[in-house]
Amino acid sequence: MSLPTYIRRAGLVAGAGTVYIGAVYLGLQLYGNGCKHPEDHITSTATTGGNKVKSYVFDPRRTETFQRIAHAYEDEIAKDEFVMGINLLRRALLYFHAKGDVLEVGAGTGRNLGYYPGKSIVRKIVLTDSSDKMLLKAKAKLKGMSTSERVRYEIVEADAENLHLFGDNSFDTIVDTFGLCSFDDPVKVLKELQRVCRPNGKILLLEHGRSKSYKGLSGYLDKHAERHAKNWGCVWNRDIDKIVQEAGLIKEKLDTWHFGTTYYIVCKPSK
């Protein structure tokens, strides 16, 4: 596909269809059947008005949800992403900005596989996630690739908050797509990504969070945050701008989609 054709298609899907896909997105996320066994969920407590209440949003073990839903995650999320044009955003982010040695955190089932530029631009891609069951799905996808393509990839089980397996300034590009909503401490994660990113490198983020343009929509996300975290292990109403600022990242490019709830961000580390 030529670049002009790609851009036109991206514009049609992600621009003109924003109203439709935004509505479908909210419906699927709220009423999706990601929670198959409610009794299996883990809860913690949060203090509200002096009273302690059960909370899925503030539970430090909330990410264990991904272990439980790994078997069905691909089928569930693929529908949403197709309707929303998310695959086009993934492809654009990596095609235009990824290069050299790449680290991807929160890689999950490998939904970015196949979107990275060729060997002449990206030499190596290390996929990491804290969920071994999610990574098993990524490994299965790699087996379907040609040997020449597969050799670029490495899969490592690792916590994005503590990338002790990697030294300082190890990577040219760091990628996180829809991970800041699920990490227990997203600011700590971004600071750790800066540590392993080379001074002239890039940190690429594709995230969802609260809308700054539509307060009513952010109110909707707030109202249903507990339910969504329970079903998906995802806190969908986080303030992405604030998280990036508190981590000290330098934003070079910021675009928002889907009524301001999807963030496409290109950053560099503050070194």
> What digits encode the pLDDT tens for the residues 228-243?
998 889 999 999 999 9
Going from the C-alpha of 263 to that of each of 123, 206, 257, the distances in angstroms are 26, 6, 7
The pLDDT confidence band at residue 43, using thresholds 50, 70 and 90, is very low
The answer to whether the beta carbons of residues 186 and 193 sit under 8 Å apart is no
The C-alpha atoms of residue 49 and residue 47 are separated, in whole angstroms, by 7
State pTM to two decimals.
Answer: 0.84
pLDDT exceeds cutoff 90 at 9: no
Output Rg (C-alpha) for the chain, integer angstroms.
18
The C-alpha atoms of residue 135 and residue 128 are separated, in whole angstroms, by 8
Taking only the tens place, the pLDDT of each residue in 55-108 is 888 876 767 889 999 999 998 888 889 999 999 999 999 999 999 999 999 999
